[in-house]
Amino acid sequence: MALQVRLGSRMSSLVSMASVSKSLIFFLLSTLSILPTYTHPLDPLTPTEFTKIQSIVHNSYPKSNHSIAFHYVGLEEPTKTAILSWLEGTATRTPPRQAFIIARINQITHEIIADLSVRNIVSDRVYGGYGYPLLTFEEQGTANALPFKYTPFLESIRKRGLKVEEVVCTSFAIGWYGEKRRSKRVVRVLCNYLDGTVNLYMRPIEGITVTVDLEEMKILGFKDRSTVPMPKADGTDYRESSQKPPFGSPLKGISMHQSDGPSFTIDGHAIRWANWDFHLSFDARAGPVISLASIFDLQKQKFRKVLYQGFLSEVFVPYMDLNEEWYYRVFFDAGEYGYGLCAVPLEPLRDCPENAVFMDAYVADHNGTPVNMPNIFCIFERYAGDVMWRHTEAAIPGKVIREVRPEVTLVVRMVSTVGNYDYVNDWEFKQSGSIKVTVGLTGLLEVRGSMYTHKDQIKEEAYGTLLAENTLGANHDHFFTYHLDLDVDGDANSFVRSQLLMTPVTDHRSPRRSYWRVVSETAKTESDARIKLGVAQEDLLVINPNKRTNIGNFIGYRLIPGSVAAPLLSDDDYAQIRGAFTKYNLWITPYNKSEKWAGGLYVDQSRGDDTLARWSLRNREIENKDIVLWYTLGFHHVPYQEDFPVMTTLSSGFELRPANFFESNPVLKVRPPQPDNWSNCSRA
C-alpha cells in the first residue's frame, strides 16, 4: 500500500544507533510506542475502533453491492459541555464514543456518525453541495500510474528524449474558476524526471497535462502544449551521501540529554509538565490537536483554564504563475490533501533531540483499514541557552546582585510533508504561561522549466526567479490559519482591541510634543473583531470580563503576532474567493462545534460558500461569550538561489501570552535545573 511505503520502518533507525551509554538507554526506552488505548473522551481513535468503524459502515452498506471509499475518519467529539462536566466529575455518564466518517458510497458523499459502544450508525446525511472530501493516497497513486499505460503520453515522453522509467507523476487538485456546472471528481496529473537525482521537483516535464476522473479512474483529457529544455540533474541531489568536497567546517558534538529522564509525564494522551497540563491528539486533517491546556497558579494553588482547543485549521498556498499548467496550483493542504495524513516519521537525533519521547498516530486508509504512522510526534524539553528572566543590579553601593533563570520549555513537534514542502510544526509551552506556536518551511520549491539560462534573457513576465539554468522558482504564498478556542479562566470571554495612538501635547503641561496612549474597545460583534495586522499599532487581548486581579485588572491573554502578510489577490479572483478566510489576519467567532475548518468541510473544487468568511457574515454577538480566535500567519515567498536545490528552514509563529492573568510574575520562584556535567563547562 502506498501509505506504508511512504512511512517506512521505525525500528530500523533505532537499531542502527546502538550504543551502551546511559542516555541512549533512556532514548531507546523513550521511543517505545505509547499504547493506543482509549482513556479520555478526546483521545484519537484507536486501531480497534477504526476496525469497528469499518465493520459498522460495511454492515450498513455491504461491499457486495456498494462501492465504498473512506475519505475522512476522525473522532466525533462530545459536546464541550459534556467534556467539561466529565472533567469536573459532575457528569452523570461518560460522554459517548463516536466517530465522524466522510465516505463516498456509490460516488455520493455521505456524512456518517457512528456510535462505537452500540456499534450502529447514529446519523447518515447525504451531502449535495459544492466541493468534495479529502483526496486519498490510494486514489492519487492509481491516478498517477494511468499515464504510463496511455500511448499519447508515452509518445510525448519519447519525443523529448526522456526515459519513461525515470518519470514520476503526481496529482494536483483542479480548483474552481467560475464554472457554473458541477464538475466531476478529477485531478490533473503532472510529471517530473529523475535520471541522476532524487530531486524530481527540480526537473519538471513542462507542457504535458493529463486529466483523470477519480471515480471512473480513467483519463479524460490529454494535452502536450509545449516543450522546453529539461533542467540539469547536476547539483540538485540533496542527500548527504551524494555530496562531494569541499565541505563546510565540522562542528564539535552538542548534547541535550537528561540522565534522570524527562520532567514531563504522559498518561495516554494527557501530558503534564512543570505547571502545564494538556491533552495531545491527532487528526488526519489537522495533525496535532492541543486540548484542555491549563496552567497551575502557584499563588492560587489551582489549575486555571487557558486553551480549550487549538489546531491548524487550513493551509492556503496560491502560486502566482499564470501559465496553463500552473494557474490552478492553488493548494489547500489540510482540506484537499490532509495535513495530518501527510505527517511523516520523525528521525531521532535529526528531527528531534536525544531527550525526545516519540508517539505514533493512526489513520484509516481508503478502505477504512487502520494504518500505523510511527514517530509522528516527538515531545521534548528544550534548553537552547535562552534566558527566562534576569537582572544585574550594580547601583547599590558595595554590592552587585545578579539573578538569572534559564528558559526551559516543552515542545510538541510534528512534520507534515505535503508534496514538495516540509512543514515543521511546534507547540511550545513556557513556564511563564505562554504558548508559542511556530511553523517552519523547508523542503523543495515548485519550479518551472524554462528556456532561460541567464536572467538577462528574460524579457516578459516570468512569475518567479531564475534559480539555475532552465529553472524558474515560482512566486507563491503560504497562509496558516489556526483555530484557537481560548477559555481564559472560563469560557465566557471577550475580545479587546487596544490601539496605541500617538497623542499630541497641546496644553503645555510638558516640554514633550507627543506621547502614545492606549485606547481600548471591546468587540461587540464579529465585524468589530476582523483585523488586518500592520494597519495600526495594536495590543490584542482575550479577557474574562467576569474576573479581575486583586487590583482590578481584567485577566486575559495577549496574541503576539509573528510575520505579517496579507493576500495580494483581488477579492474576485476565484482562488481568493475560496481562500477568503485569509483576508483578515484575525477573526473572532462565537464557539460553534461545527465550525472547525476555515476553508469549509469540503474543499476540493469548493466555491467559497462554506468558509470562515461566510460564517462571520452573520455578525453574531461575541462579547462575554464562549469565543474562538482565528489567526492567520502568512509568508510571501519570493524564491532566491539559496532556496535551490533544497530550502533551509524559514520560520515564524505567534505567541499566546498572559496579560494580567497572574497577580505577579508566575516564574519568580522557578528554580533553575541542575545541568548534567556542569563542572565540564568551560570559558573561552
The residues assigned a catalytic role are 333, 421
Handedness of CA 294, 295, 298, 300 (dihedral sign): negative
Q: Are 3 and 137 in contact (CB under 8 A)?
A: yes
Q: Are 598 and 633 in contact (CB under 8 A)?
A: no
**Strand, coil or helix: what is 582?**
helix
User: To which residue does cell 482591541 refer?
Assistant: 497
Q: What is the secondary structure of 420-472 as a DSSP string?
A: TEEEEEEEEEETTS-EEEEEEEEE---EEE-S-SSGGG--S--SEEEEETTEE
Cis bond leading into 504, ω under 30°? no
**Strand, coil or helix: what is 27?**
helix
**Angle ∠(352,629,663) on CA atoms, nearest 5:** 80
Distance CA 151, CA 616 (A): 50
Return the bridge partners of 223, or none.
209
Return the bridge partners of 542, or none.
495, 557
Q: What is the secondary structure of 151-214 as a DSSP string?
A: HHHHHHHHHTT--GGGEEEEEEE---SS-SSPPPSEEEEEEEE-SS-S-GGGSB-TTEEEEEET
Cis bond leading into 675, ω under 30°? no
CA-based R_g, the chain, Å? 27
Q: Are 633 and 223 in contact (CB under 8 A)?
A: no
**Angle ∠(308,313,319) on CA atoms, nearest 5:** 155
Side-chain-side CA neighbours of 598 within 13 Å: the count stands at 33
**Strand, coil or helix: what is 356?**
coil
Return the bridge partners of 112, or none.
101, 124
Q: Are 626 and 491 in contact (CB under 8 A)?
A: yes
Q: Which residues of 489-526 are buried (b: 16+ CB within 10 A; e: fewer)?
A: bebbbbbbbbeeeeeeeeeeeeeeeeeeeeeeebbeeb
In one-letter notation, the amino acid at residue 215 is: E
In one-letter notation, the amino acid at residue 621 is: E
DSSP state of 142: H
592 to 43, 174, 490: CA distances (angstroms): 20, 30, 16
**Residue among 587, 484, 491 nearest 545 (CA):** 491
**Strand, coil or helix: what is 561?**
coil
Handedness of CA 272, 273, 276, 280 (dihedral sign): negative
Q: What is the secondary structure of 4-20 as a DSSP string?
A: HHHH--SHHHHHTT---
Q: Are 205 and 176 in contact (CB under 8 A)?
A: no
φ, ψ at 203 (rounded to 5°)? -130, 65
